[in-house]
Structure 1
């Protein structure tokens, strides 16, 4: 557990699909929440102009994850369902799970009705000794932070 006042570190996180941990990730980028802001103007009882702001409709979002090119069948199947256009199977509830230094989950970014819409494989080169990665772009309809 982290001590009061300590912050989380960015090196220990993974991806769950429908509640099952399927992949530890190298990088997550662009995970964000946005909603409309409604501005309402009216005249007060004393005749003074008054402006109020209220939350509006939540926007859908996108993020990008980088993972090592592995044999993770659950992640690969999720990507394949998206590519095939099988949206009944491709739309999943996915969670970016942040863990403390003892691998205890401490923060969750739950992406509702998420699916993969782009994949980029790292370049391969003869004689190069480096890990292969895949960059996967994910779109989602709702983000719930726990």
Structure 2
């Protein structure tokens, strides 16, 4: 389903994150969503001696994105990182998606990622007297991505 009007744009606050079919709760921010291919530079001289540079399309690149969520008692993400650190390659690989939602909460675009694994988990600064929530930020690496 698309947006109601061609002049409308998707709200940046309408999204959900799903890993292995389970929606991640309390997600505050997703950053680094990017699809990219290598660029190949072909430098050559033509028959008349003119120098020419052509940019050719290379292979798709792997990548990573970052998810920030409110800290809970859930150990799902830290257990995932432990699995990676323990060398459980098969168990560490997951599928993930980030769905962009319209104003009614219906999906308008999905970024899908294959062979994901968590690279790092970071807590925000903890301060006595702070008036903010504790968060955990985790970086997810992936081999392949697609947008539908």
Is the partner of 1:89 in helix, strand or coil?
helix
Structure 1 gaps, min length 5: none
Question: C-alpha separation between the residues in 1 aligned to 2:71 and 2:31?
Answer: 18
1:2 matched residue in structure 2 = 3
Is the partner of 1:37 in helix, strand or coil?
strand
2:17 matched residue in structure 1 = 15
Q: Number of residues paired by the alignment?
A: 145
2:31 matched residue in structure 1 = 29
TM-score, structure 2 as length reference: 0.80
Q: What is the CA distance between 1:74 and its match in structure 2?
A: 4.4
TM-score, structure 1 as length reference: 0.81
- Pick from 98, 101, 113 the counterpart of residue 99 of structure 1: 101
2:118 matched residue in structure 1 = 116
Q: State the Cα deviation string for residues 72-109 of structure 1 (Å, max 9, x = none).
A: 45444433322333221111011112111222122111
CA RMSD of aligned residues (A): 2.6
Q: What is the CA distance between 1:34 and its match in structure 2?
A: 1.3
Q: What is the CA distance between 1:138 and its match in structure 2?
A: 1.1
Confirm or deny: 8 A CA contact 1:22 1:75 kept in the other structure. Answer: no
- Pick from 58, 61, 67 the counterpart of residue 59 of structure 1: 61
Structure 2 gaps, min length 5: none
Is the partner of 2:82 in helix, strand or coil?
helix
Cα distance change of structure 1 residues 72 and 145 upon mapping to structure 2, 3 Å threshold = farther
Question: C-alpha separation between the residues in 1 aligned to 2:41 and 2:122?
Answer: 40
Question: C-alpha separation between the residues in 1 aligned to 2:106 and 2:74?
Answer: 22
